[in-house]
Structure 1
Amino acid sequence: MSNDLTVLQATTSAMAQAMDVDPSVLVLGEDVGTAGGIFRATQGLQQRFGANRVIDTPLDEKGIAAHAIGMALYGLRPIVEIQFSGFIHDAFEQLMFCGAKYRWITGGEYTCPMVVRAPSFGGIKGGFWHSQSPESYFIHGGGMKVVVPSTPQDAYSLLLAAIVDPDPVLVLEAVPLYRTMSGPVVEDGVPGRIGEAEVVRSGTDVTIVTYGPPRHLAVRAAEEMAASDGYSIEVIDLRSLVPWDRETVSASVRRTGRLVVLHEAAQTLGFGAELAAAVQEHDFGYLHCPVQRVSGHDLPYGFSTGDEYYRPSIERVRAAVRRAMEFEF
């Protein structure tokens, strides 16, 4: 039995169900209690579970992260809300040099089961501080799992998976999809699988690997180019960046021989660079052309009206596919 939910409603449902089942799960962050969070993702949770489990904090990302780490080390399962991922950098030291390292520095004696929910990505004309794609910072540091849901079902299932995981998990939530995307969600309380990609659309000519909001851009481009150019384009939504599903990507590239990587973050040292390098290393003999990258630009996100210039466009995706299809050695 499924219910039609928005991405935001699915996020709220996952937290509510986890808190209902496990009294060690709690939420803390700026305005998460009385106001229900800046996007109202936690609306109603404080009234249902009490102020001791849905905790309003000062405007202090570093302090929020530090307190959550302490709670996790003492047996709780905190869910931290960072209002926008553009403000997460103040907490970077606590998250990456403390929370993400306890399993390793204690030889597995201690773990740090905490979730950091970080609303991310452009598309709401939020300008520089409210449109970030910070995944590479946390991927490179080690010890932090990173998931990026882009559908209501994934928002629900991956958040549940993050909550029960024994290690820190960063959930990059797609702000532009919170209320604009809805779909069926099976609210069965069953966590998803971190590290498992989804083949959203099957194809034989080109593989597009993506995550987050560009998933929907890739599907649109694939459908339009199938009609206009006759190209058969496979679209893979990674859903999880640490760990990422190398097997699914490799199998697809070995079938199609062409790869386009698509993400909203800047190109240099973006996650697409790791995908391109891994495919070159493991699947080079199957490639018919160089790996194509479509990304944001290597500069700060535009102020307020820059969304349409910074974010990948369908025209850029089409151009990358054509470069891959028309390449000649």
Structure 2
Amino acid sequence: MARVYLEALHHLQPSPESALELAALDRQCHDFAQGLALLREADARWPGRVDLLRAQAELAMLAKAFEAAGELWQRLISEDGMAGSYPVLRKVACLRQMDREDAAQCQIAACATALEAQLSKHAVELLRNPVSSRAALVPGLYLVTGNNGTGKTTLGHFLQALGFHTIDADIDIAAFCDGHRWAILRHDLSRGRPEIETGLRWLWPCARFEVTCGAFGDFERVVFVIGGFGQAVAPYIHRFDKVFHLTAPTDVIARRLEKRGSPSHRKGSPGYRSALRRNTKASSPPYPAYIIKADRPVWESCEVILASLGARPSQAAKPVRAALPICPTA
């Protein structure tokens, strides 16, 4: 309903801002194609808007349209001199997801000086070392978890730039749950039943986990699932070869959440206060995990993770099966 109302307003009084709001709603609904089409039209109508260009690139990444996303990131690199290292890393990620290693190396070489200034020389050397050259890494399904603000998404983006396949759990697995029922949108569960609104929980439905992670079969390559913590991931810990849990001091979490600008975690909001309150608990997860201090550059955290993948954990060391997953299939 909100989108229908906003779309009507956009047609009556179109603007780049209303196009971005509509695309944000499409992203929430996981209708990435519709959001992309809307932003392409807006980009043609209001050329030169960096915010429209970046929103298109992000949606294309979520849609796994890496060819289109790579072209958009390249435009952003060319048109926005203040864009920093982020568009370059995302462009490299697109190229490597399409197995275009030569092009990825050319992109890194072309931007090496800027990347070294914004990241570090060591980070650039790490980027030059593709997945294909890391023969010692043990294939498997690995989970990167941690509290809000510990840098899971940023680390996932860097792993993707290195050429690893990553799964964004908040996009591909998690959903609002009410017993056995689940939905991407909170309203789809609480519609007509306002009394359950406060009881809805953001968890991992069994059906979505199986569809997403089961697609990789016996995991003949390294696959990282990025996101989640606590009760959402606990029922699935036994499905992962290793779990990496990111931690950071509370003051670092606070600064990152404030910088993020997310409405659900803005300073003083319930989400913001909850993230800070549970940070002490989140530093010690209730399941076996490799604890990684994430109050350092992301490439250093990546190196710690990759260094730990040199040997497959023994079957005896793997966690025992947890309770049945939330929202099991019928």
Q: Same fold (TM over 0.5)?
A: no
TM-score if structure 2 supplies the norm length? Answer: 0.27
TM-score, structure 1 length as denominator? 0.27
Identify, as 1 or 2, the structure richer in helix.
Answer: 2
Greater strand fraction, Structure 1 or Structure 2: 1
